[in-house]
Amino acid sequence: MPIRSREPAQRPGFFNRQRPLHAVLGGGKLADILLWKDKISSATILAAFSIIWFLFEVVEYNFLTLLCHILMVIMLILFVWYNAAGLITWSLPQIYDFQIPESTFRFLHQKLNSFLRNFYDISTGKDLALFFATITGLWIMSAIGNYFTTLNLLYILFLSLVTLPIMYERYEHEVNYLASKGNQDVKRLFNTLDNKVLNKIPRGPVKEKKNR
């Protein structure tokens, strides 16, 4: 009988991820930007957000003043562009180039509804471990918010989005090893908390969802 060579089984990635990280992030333009596949777009977005953060936090630019200045510059550019188009071989600006696509609003609508459903499910306490983990996470975030401004927190979050995915892709095996150990420790902690505390809390009746 022919002997079949055994190939080493591939270990799943972080959070039991079986697909490449690029596919997990959507596999489109956003994934290319987060993983720095499109270096020009990634660098441009990073520079733009850094300039905005610098203007508001370092220079202490007022938001309304900055917004008005930006709108005035755009109006002047459109005015010169529109009136000079007849003198120079320029094409007239089209209003459709400045419209936000309807698919963007549908995407935001779906994400908002998904967030509200998940928030409701967690708040009902069906999964007490997840409920207390969420409460703890919100409390930690509120404590951090006392030491940072909202803009600083958003900028730190943005920096995390454009740096952590590419760092994880480069050091995937090391991160998976540390995450696996940390996940086991957290599970043991929650099991102990569930057996000694959470199981003793009386729960109300949970209504089953009707399939329509």
pLDDT 10s per residue in the chain (212 long)? Answer: 444 444 444 445 554 556 777 777 777 777 888 888 888 888 999 999 999 889 888 888 888 888 888 889 988 988 888 787 667 666 766 666 666 677 778 878 888 999 999 999 889 888 888 888 889 988 988 888 788 888 888 888 889 888 888 888 888 788 878 878 877 777 788 777 777 666 666 655 555 555 54
Please give the pLDDT value at position 141: 84
Q: State the Cα–Cα distance between residues 191 and 160, nearest whole angstrom.
A: 31
DSSP 58: I
Q: How many other CB atoms are there within 10 angstroms of residue 190's CB atom? A: 16
pTM of the model: 0.56
Q: How far is CA 133 from each of CA 111, 136, 140, 161, 192, rounded to the nearest angstrom? A: 22, 5, 11, 22, 14
Nearest to 175 by CA among 17, 5, 4: 17
Residue 207 has what pLDDT?
A: 54
User: What is the pLDDT, as a whole number, of residue 16?
Assistant: 53
Residues whose CB falls within 8 Å of the CB of residue 17, separated by 6 or more in sequence, listed in order: 24
Pairwise CA distance, residues 199 & 128, whole Å: 9
Q: What are phi and psi of 170, to 5 degrees?
A: -80, -35
**Nearest residue to 192 via CA among 132, 138, 126, 135:** 132
Measured CA distances, 137 to 30, 131, 140, 142, 185 (Å): 27, 10, 5, 9, 17
Q: Which residues contact 24 (CB under 8 A, 6 or more apart)?
A: 17
Measured between alpha carbons, how far apart are the two ends of the chain, in Å? 54
